[in-house]
Structures are given as C-alpha cells and as structure tokens.
Structure 1
Amino acid sequence: MNPELITIDDIYRARDLLQGIIRFTPLEPSRPLTAMLGGPVWLKCENLQRAGSYKVRGAYTRIARLTADERARGVVAASAGNHAQGVALAAAANGARSTVFMPVGAPLPKVAATKGYGAAVELVGATVDEALVAAQEFAERTGAVFIHPFDHADVIAGQGTVGLEILEQCPEVRTIITGVGGGGLISGLAVAVKTLRPDVRIIGVQATGAAAFPPSLEAGRPVKLPGLSTIADGIAVLRPGDLTYAHVSKLVDEVVTVSDEEISRTLLMLLERGKLVVEPAGSVGVAALLAGVVRVETPAVAILSGGNIDPLLMLRVIEHGLASAGRFLRFTVRCADRPGQLASLLALIAEQRANVVDVAHQRHDPHLRLGEVAVDLSVETRGSEHSDRLLSRLREAGYTVALAAA
C-alpha cells in the first residue's frame, strides 16, 4: 500500500506555524555558475538558517504539533548533526526535554551545538541508521516521542516551506536542485513546487558513496545500501524512507550523484567565490552543476542546505579541493645528499612560480640508495597546467619525482 502524500495545504499550515521561528533565508546570485550555464543561477542559503540548516523547519513543525501530554514525555531523535540541532532548538522553544542519539564519529561542533540548544546527547553506532535504532529503542523504553529526521508528514511539510520561499523569491525559476539524504527536503519541496509550478524541474543529488535513491527508484521500492562512504555525512543515509520514497518516485524529475572530489572542489569554490561556508552535504546541488552531470534550464536555484562543518574537516576538504583542482601538490623528489642540493631544488621550484608550503628530508628510508635523500614537498600552484609544467621541469632537471598517494 502506497503512503498518502502530503498536500500544499499541509505546507501552507507549516509556513503559518513557522512564522517568527525560522529565518526567511536569502537567495544569492552565483556569478561563476551563471557564467558557466549561460543563464541566471541562484543559491538558496539555508546554511544561514537558524541552527545552520533547513532541518529546524521540519523539526519545529513536528514538535509544535505534539499534544501537551506528548511534550511532557519528551522527544528523542537521531542525527549526524543538523536534525539534532533542529530538534534541540525546537524542543526548547516548545518546553520539551530532548534526547538526541548521534553516531560516534559525529563532528564535535555539531555535538557541542546540540548540547548548547539543551539536548542530552548520546553517541551510539557508526552511522545515522544505527543511531536511529537506538533512538527508537529509547522511545519505546521511556515513552519519549520519536522525531524522525525525514520520514514523517509534519517534517516533510516543514521542509516544504523552502519551496514556497523559492517561488516567492524567484518566480521565473525553471530548475531547482538540492541534496538528498533520506528525502525529507526534496519531498516537501517537490509537493510545493509541482503543485504551484508543475513546469519546474526538481533534481536531487546524492553523494556517490551514499546514493540509496537511484537503486531504489530502479527497483521500484526503497532499497538499503550495504554501506556508506562519503565526506557528506549530513546526507549519508542507508535507505530512503517509505513516505519520502513515495514523494520522490512520483514528483522528482531526476536523481544524480557526485563524487567526494567534486564535492570538495565545490566547497572551495563556494568559499572563495561566494564567501559562503557550506558543509559537504549542503553543497552537492552546486557540485552537480559544476560537474555537468545534469541538464539544467535556467533560471536555476541550488539549495545550500547546511553550513555546519567541522573546522578540522574544512581544513582537510580545502586541501583536498585544491588538490582536485590541481592547485596543491604533494610529491617526493629523490636527489643526491650533498650541500646545496636542497637550495638548488627550491630555487628551481621558485623559478616556476610555485609556492612551497612545507618541506621535509628523509635520509633513512631503506628504499633510498647510499648517498641519496628523499625530499617531501607540499606546493601551491595556479592550476593543473602549472602543476604539470612544474613536474616536467623537475624531471627535465634530472630529479626523480613521485606524486604522493591521494
């Protein structure tokens, strides 16, 4: 039996409920994407939403509709971070206790923020799905109300208010593209947009290492992945929800995937060109546009669904993004161990206008020949062509060069 889809009236009621609670987030133009696609491209900045993502919309809608008795029993949720913060904020605003189960590897800033909003945090399991099981067991044991991160009509209705805002801010929109994890955001978005503007294409994007929707849509039912592997923890979900699958299969035009390399390059572009801090999961819509994996009719809107990124992860992602774009090289040069050799090597790199970030000698590697030294270098360049010229010049000068493993 197919679940009943929510309606535009459900989303209108959620919008009324959220008045004065959420932020009407800005729609910012993207010059790089506009130039690339030949028509206007806008970014819906839910990374600037309260608690750092769109998740507060659905969490508040769900919790505000609980009865007084249900609120008195408290609420429980499971999340990698964004739903956790949304639930904690919404519960506090409605006078309810909240307990949130998060994966053991959840980013520390998300854990700290969730606690800061007043929730009790339990770290359980390696994935959101394992945390979900623990949260549901807690609900059965204590009577707390389980707040699902995506597979509930109230949650979907709350997320659908993003679609109403986009149509108000950009009435001429032709394509909307957004990241997809469990499917709550794209489900609500699709109901709002397809009801009011059925001509608008709705495109979902998943990380290649956490793409449960493509096989599910092909099979005609929700399919569980054997595992997850992506830097986009916010959309790392093993299986679509039954309710969200029903919405996506009926209303969404296409679901595509992007790699972690494409995501990291996108985060770098958004930071450099857009001055926007976005988490990996929040950037996948833009990543799909940059990678050219989807056909887009402009004007287009890409949703930046969240901005809660661990600073340590940001450092790694920026470095990875620079490397993916050919602007950051790690390599080892083998040369004779004699005075002045390092100075000559660095002078040659300087002649090529590359910038050395760090350098280290290795003299005791058993693979080195007697009288030979290995020099490990990290170098900034201006792009792939510049990197290739630098490496070619080093080899022409007689150096043995080996690129570091990614």
Structure 2
Amino acid sequence: MSTLGESPAVLAKRKHVKNNVWCPKTNVEDDPWCDPDNPKMISYKDTVKATSVIKEYIAKTPLNRSKCCVQFNMELYYKFETVHRTGSFLERAALYSLSMLDDEQRAAGVITASLGNWGLALAYHGQRLNVPVTVVIPYTDKCKVILRCQNYGANIIQHGNDLSEAIRKAFIIKSEIQNLTYINGYDHPHVIAASGSIALEILEQLPQTDVVLVPVGGGGLIAGIATVAKKLKPEIKIYGIEPKKCCSFFKAMENDNPFQTVVGATVAEMLAVPKAGCNAFYTARSLIDKMVLVEDNWISRAILHLTEEEKMVTEGAGATALSAFFATPIILPELKGKTVVCVVSGGNTDYFTLCRNIERAKAIEGRLIKMRFTLSGDQLTEQRVKILRIIAKTSCNILQCQCEEALLEESFRKIYFTLICETASHEHACVVKRIMDSMFLDYKFSEDPYNPIQSCVCFPNPMLY
C-alpha cells in the first residue's frame, strides 16, 4: 500500500537541523611587509637612511617654545608637523615609501587605505613622482579631504565604516588588479623609518629634551621617534598619548600583542585605528616609558589652547599629545620642571569641526554659558530688555538669543527666553551667575559646572561662587 509519508503533526515535532553553510572570510590581507608572524624591527640605521633620502624635499619643521611655560610649570616645546604641504607628518613617510619603489612598481601604481592624512600625503607625492595612487577611505563627511586627494590626481574609493573595512577593500582591489603595491600608512617599515626623522630633528634642535610626548594611533610615529631618541639619548623618556575611545595600541601593550579592537567616534579621528601595527608594536614596546589615555574633552581644550595661545590651528590628533596636560587631576606630575616636546602631528581640520571643538572647549572651561529665563505677565518685552541690559553691563558677548512660547502652560502670557553668552573666563561666568541669582528667581544656568561646590572632571578645581 502506498503512503504519503508521516503526518504534518509528526513532522512538526521533529528537530530541524540546518546545514552549516557558513564559510569564513578569505584572508585577502596578505601584506609581506606587515606580517604579524614575522614582524620587522626598525633600526636607527633605517631611519638615518630614510632621512638621507627625504631631506632634499622635506624641510625641517619648527620646534617652538610655548608661550605658556609658566602655566604648565615646565619648559614646553611644540614640534609643528602641521607646516607640511598636506598638513601632517605623513609627508615624510609618503615620500620615502614611494622613493623606495622600483620602476615597475611605480608604473603599476600603489593602493592604500586611509582616514585622510596618509591618503593626502601619498596622493601629493604620487603626483609629484608620477606614481598612480588609489586611496580607499571609509565613508565620512570629510568631503574636503576627498576633494584634495582627487585634486592631487588620486583615485578615491569610499568603502566601509572604519579603517579595517577600508583596508580589506584595498586588498580586494589589489587582488583584482595585478602589480598594485599596497602601502600600510602606519605600519610599513618605510613609514616607521621616515617618521623617525622627526626625532633626529628634535634632538638636533633641542639636545636638552627630557621627554617627548607622541600621539598614538597605529603606532608608526611613536615607533620611529622612540627608536631614534633612545639610540641618541638613552635617558630620554618617550610617552605615548592615545584617545581613550580608540586605544588599540594601549590595549596591545596590555595584551603584549596587537589585536582587533572596537573604536569609538573621537575628536582625534585620525588616530582611530582598530588594530595597532605589528611592526610598530614590536619595535616600540620596549622603548615606550608610559602610555597615557586621554578624554575627548581634554583634546578639545588642547585645540582651543593651541588656537588662542600659540596661534596654531590643529586637528584633534595633532592636539592629542598636549591634551594630557589638561587632565584632571594632573596625571603627569613628574614632568614638572622638565624640558618637554609635544609632537603636533597634523593640522587638517575643517571650519565646522574646528568651531565645534572651540565651542565645546569654551563650554568645558566655563566660558560659554547658557541661561534660560521663564517670563510671564503683560510686559514680556520690557523683561527681555532688562535681561539684555544687565548682560551687557557684565561685558558678556551674546551669541544666541531665542524666545519660545510655553504652549502647554496655563498662562498664555508665558515664554522661555534662552541666551547663550561668551565670558572671558570661568570666574567671569561665576560673577554673571551671582548677579542673575540676585535679580531673577525663575531662571537657570544649563551647565552643571555652575552648581555650588562641584568638582567636574573637566575643571582643575572645585567651583565656588
């Protein structure tokens, strides 16, 4: 007798086992220059060779004494790498890396993945040396960087949400297009060696340097600087300064091995490298005296300080080394009275980002305040005029003024009057608050730092008014 098989009720009770069709991603990221199983240690001789190649085209960058040495209680100097044509120290690395290619490699071209600065430097020197350059950049709002790379003749491909995804895409393209040379922008031996030329200049310009503070992303910059500095002056201290939100190198030091990490959005976006370079790590790990993690608020304050006091515009990554001095409480007390050099690695920022950082830093320092008044009655205009006159007498700059109707309140004659004002200092802001407290009842400061006797992580001292 024929049968139609088991009933649907029986079949429904069976445990369904799915076939495992998962297949791991093919490892296309095969870079013989950056092999985790066979890391390349960069030597002092490598840096000397790199310096001899690039010195004809790369001028020495200025090492300027800070105008605020008394404030920081040390002899503080800045190594301004922002003065290069493309605005960052990576021009040294780009020129040397391209110079070391043979004729066949130059003709075929190079490909790389970049967050911006490395792509700019490689595109610029690629155009100058007639080497075709392809740059894979993660999806970003930095339209200006992409446009500048294109103006230098580079082929720009946007892919991925972070540098890791962009790197993988670059290797996929390399596998499809024969003879392309991939150059890692933070871990290639030539990149590290060329970065070490900065240390040669520092010790030539300021032999009495006690400590060098270096911003850290993938680790190429600190590896090059540490290699040279420790060779020429063994007693010198090398501090790596890394954003807390993207601290792959710090975690590699803790783990004693680089590994993939999750990076968060940070002010120092050029340092957002998910995995520290293997060559950089194994070269630098025994040469670094201290690694310091910094908050974004400290970096914003460092950007503001460099802009106002040193008259130098920098990006978040460029201000990262200095930001360690804006920590609360003080995290580097041992540097008091020392001769310290901060490497300002780059200055590629845009107007919008710079303004946001400046406003943020001013708010952190109590120099940008927001007040909200609740006004009611028949003389709303007169009340607003009174407030504005009082503000004017306190010598504040009124940046924004907004009226908002209280639509759901019982009274139809009620509004919220909001002011954003700029003050000269935190003390000035506290004076304004005392005056407002004495004259108005129904108002509030929006910023928490103006609560009585509060200690904020972004302020050096408890706030009393």
Fold shared by both chains (TM-score > 0.5): yes
Amino acid at match of 1:280: G
Q: Does 1:25 align with 2:61?
A: yes
- 1:168 is the counterpart of 2:204: yes
Amino acid at match of 2:303: L
Counterpart of 1:306 in structure 2: which amino acid?
G
SS of residue paired to 2:313: coil
Give ranges in structure 2 of 5+ residues lacking alignment: 1-36, 450-465
Shift of 1:159: 0.7
Q: Percent identity?
A: 28
Selected match of 1:389 from 420, 425, 431:
431
- Alpha-carbon separation, structure 2, partners of 1:4 and 1:147: 15
Whether 1:322 and 2:362 are equivalent positions in the alignment is: yes
Please name the residue that 1:336 is paired with: 376
Give, in angstroms, the shift of residue 405 of structure 1: 9.1
> For the structure 1 residues 366 and 76, does the alpha-carbon distance in structure 2 shift closer, same or farther, using more than 3 Å as the test?
farther
Which residue of the partner structure matches residue 455 of structure 2?
none
What does 1:228-243 correspond to in 2, within 5 Å? 228-243=264-279
**Aligned partner of residue 373 in structure 2, secondary structure:** strand
Q: Give 1:293's match in structure 2, choosing from 331, 344, 348.
A: 331
Query: Per the alignment, do residues 78 and 367 of structure 1 end up closer, same or farther by CA in structure 2, a change over 3 Å counting?
Result: farther
Is the 8 Å Cα contact of residues 228 and 238 (structure 1) preserved in structure 2?
no
1:44 matched to 2:84: no
Q: Is 1:377 aligned to residue 419 of structure 2?
A: yes
TM-score with structure 1 setting the length: 0.95
TM-score (normalised: structure 2): 0.83
1:95-116: per-residue Cα shift (whole Å, max 9, x none)?
A: 2100111121152222222122
Partner of residue 443, structure 2? 400
Please give the secondary structure, in 1, of the residue aligned with 2:366: coil
Alignment correspondent of 2:215: 179
CA RMSD of aligned residues (A): 1.9
Q: Indicate yes or no: 2:240 matched with 1:200.
A: no
Which of residues 372, 389, 408 is equivalent to 1:347? 389
Is the 2:227–2:284 Cα contact (8 Å) retained in structure 1? no
Q: In structure 2, what is the Cα distance between the partners aligned to 1:254 and 1:224?
A: 22
2:135 equivalent to 1:100: yes
Q: Name 2:289's counterpart in structure 1.
A: 253
- SS of the residue corresponding to residue 136 of structure 2 reads strand
Return closer, same or farther for 1:159/1:369 CA change in 2, 3 Å cut-off: farther
| Per-residue Cα deviation, 1:31-89 (whole angstroms, up to 9, x for no partner) | 21x21343321100101122110001112211111111111111111111110111112
- Deviations along 1:124-164, one digit per CA (max 9) or x if unpaired, are 12222221121121112113111111111111001111111
Letter of the 2:442 counterpart: Y
Query: Aligned partners of 1:289 and 1:13: how far apart in 2?
Result: 35
Instruction: Identify if the C-alpha distance between structure 1 residues 293 and 99 changes in structure 2 by more than 3 Å, giving closer, same or farther.
Output: same
How far apart, CA to CA, are the structure 2 residues paired with 1:166 and 1:369? 68
> 2:261 maps to which residue?
225
Task: Report the Cα distance in structure 1 between the residues aligned to 2:398 and 2:409, rounded to whole angstroms.
Answer: 25
Q: Secondary structure at the match of 1:204?
A: strand
The structure with the larger Rg is 2
Aligned equivalents of 1:370, 1:402: Cα separation in 2: 24
> Which has more helix, going by share of residues?
1
Contact 1:182 1:235 in 2 (8 A): yes
